[in-house]
Amino acid sequence: MSQEQVVRMAQPGSADVMELSRVEVGAPGPGEVRVRQAFCGLNYIDIYHRSGVYPLPTPSGLGMEASGVVEAVGEGVSHLAEGDRVAYASQPVGAYATARVMPARCVVRLPESIALDTGAAMMLKGLTVQYLLRKTLPQGGLQPGDTVLFHAAAGGVGLIACQWARHLGLNLIGTAGSDEKCELARAHGAAHVINYRREDFAARVKEITGGRGVKVVYDSVGADTWAGSLACLRPFGLLVSFGNASGVVPPVSLSSLAAGSLYVTRPTLFTHLATRESTQAMADELFEVVGSGAVRIPIGQRYALAEVRQAHRDLEARTTTGSGLLIV
């Protein structure tokens, strides 16, 4: 048993509900590993958990992503060994900690070519892009030359998506909330960028596509962009709603999909990570594009674990770019 620092909350609320506590972390049980953590990833889903948008039983830890070194291996675990450099993006929540016990099926070994800080910055965001661009596809799939719309293109997920889309030969239209963020998305591979604070993004998408619209919209913004995202789709197009940064999408009338025989889906990363085999296969593809240099993981912000409140405030204010880390 060891005393470890862990970020916990007694009830949902603002960033101020988070407290740094000390808890006992014991030995891993069957099917588990204990990880001595180096870095924790910061993600918008952490805001949803902390604020109660995605309710958690309280008191609770926070955080879904980290990297570190395996300290101990429980019975029945064969794919990991003590001393392995590892990373994960998974449930259960509680990644904001100096050490923790985890289900081993969620944890993957990091290639030697990928640093621990990159590992913590890329798992949740990179695996999200993997399931979006490789698995969550419109009718007929996506082929080189196809055009897609990706909201929040200068965020941690968005900058990975810009690069991966370019690697796949896709023309990605990225939206962002400032000219600086638009240029950041362009520099990372977006074929076109739209400052949604100054332009009607739906009208601009139609202009870029010659009035046809796009095959698919990847939307993590939610309430503010929902109607415009639907308007960007060509007939039989797909709207992928995978986040609610601006608020939860209100109830949808099915008749709003009728004009173009449109499709809508609300996927989650954790459905895709349900088994060790699927987790490993997705991670292998992520490791390949990062290891080859086709996708680089920009780390925009680093905070000490004790600065977690400020980290959340910055994330909520949308002043961050790329990936953010807590250093533990």
Does the pLDDT of residue 2 top 90, yes or no? Answer: no
CA 224 to chain centre: 19
Mean pLDDT of the chain: 96
Does the pLDDT of residue 151 top 80, yes or no? Answer: yes
pLDDT-based confidence at residue 245 (cuts at 50, 70, 90) = confident
pLDDT-based confidence at residue 320 (cuts at 50, 70, 90) = confident
Residues 12-33 as b or e (16 or more Cβ within 10 Å = b): beebebbeeeebebeebeeebb
**CA atoms of 2 and 283, how far apart (whole Å):** 30
Q: Is 131 within a domain?
A: no
pTM recorded for the entire structure: 0.92
CATH of the domain at 167: 3.40.50.720
Q: Which domain holds residue 176?
A: 137-266
pLDDT-based confidence at residue 322 (cuts at 50, 70, 90) = confident
- CA 188 → CA 55, 93, 135, 157, 325, distances in Å? 34, 30, 22, 12, 20
pLDDT at 244 (0 to 100): 85
Token pair 């968005």 in the structure block, residue? 158
CA atoms within 13 A on the CB side of 153: 34
Average pLDDT over residues 27-33: 97
CA 304 to chain centre: 21
pLDDT tens, 60-79?
999 999 999 999 999 999 99
Using a CB cutoff of 8 Å and minimum separation of 24, what contacts does 272-278 make?
272/127, 272/131, 272/135, 273/89, 273/90, 273/106, 273/127, 275/105, 276/79, 276/104, 276/105, 276/106
3-class DSSP state for residue 47? helix
Neighbours of 72 (CB within 10 A): 16
Residues 147 and 262 in one domain: yes
Q: Are strands 233-241 and 18-25 parallel, antiparallel or unpaired?
A: unpaired
pLDDT at 146 (0 to 100): 98
Residues 82 and 113 in one domain: yes
Residues 238 and 197 in one domain: yes
pLDDT tens, 257-295?
998 999 999 999 999 999 999 999 999 999 999 999 999
pLDDT at 37 (0 to 100): 98
Of the residues 266, 283, 310, which one is the last residue of a structural domain?
Answer: 266
Residues 258 and 313 in one domain: no
